[in-house]
Homo-oligomer: A and B are copies of this chain.
């Protein structure tokens, strides 16, 4: 949603501005992010910025858009899961794509994560994000899984979707930190032959799968209530 002016900028300049803007909104909340800081570091005039993006909100909207777009682009380029992969194969594929996204575009992922965890201060952007968002998606996935007999009937689809989404958004960062991935790992694709990395992802997925998969044996109910003091 930036102006044509911005899109026609020399690639080098355009990229520099964009990178710095992404960096800023990844590092700070919407309110704390500073346009002044961006233009100062980008070496452009304040007025130019406003010719490119209209206002702070405009830039922010664009950042969110870039983030979701890049994610979709990446997903589109990924080989889809096998047809017979089933719910769990599909979910595994989803998580991998998110980790990949977070490895390739850590700052865009951070922006998306901020939008998810801190909320978006503008209703229209919030709405747009929700339409493209993951919540609905995970819920559908679980519901289908129940219907197909892959997921246990006692599972609350909403709760399970909530769990998926929360883990989905946080797994990438954990993954990267734990394996100590650096920029070097991002450029080549060495991670995909990294046994440790693959192991890690498998472990998470297996836990989730075991947690919700349909079990032919009877499962007993747990007493889940705990007494609480009056105070």
Number of copies: 4
* A185 sits at the interface (CB 8 A): no
Complex CA–CA separation, A97 to B126 (angstroms) = 30
Knowing A202-B224, A226-B92, the reply to whether A207 touches B155 (Cβ < 8 A) is: yes
Expressed in whole angstroms, the minimum distance between the Cβ of A119 and any Cβ of chain B is 10
* A205 sits at the interface (CB 8 A): yes
Question: Which chain B residues lie closer than 8 Å to A114 at the CB level?
Answer: 118
CB-based contact B189/A202 at 8 Å: no
Complex CA–CA separation, A163 to B174 (angstroms) = 10
8 Å CB interface, A163-204 against B: 163, 166-167, 170-171, 174, 178, 189, 192, 198-204
CB-based contact B92/A230 at 8 Å: no
B79, B200, B205, B222: which contacts A227 (Cβ < 8 A)?
B79
Question: Which chain B residues lie closer than 8 Å to A154 at the CB level?
Answer: 203, 206
CB-based contact A200/B159 at 8 Å: yes
Question: Which chain B residues lie closer than 8 Å to A225 at the CB level?
Answer: 192, 198, 202
* A150 sits at the interface (CB 8 A): no
CB-based contact B159/A192 at 8 Å: no
Known: A155-B203, A166-B167, A209-B222. 9 other contacts (CB 8 A): A29-B29, A78-B228, A113-B117, A117-B118, A154-B203, A160-B207, A162-B174, A163-B167, A202-B225
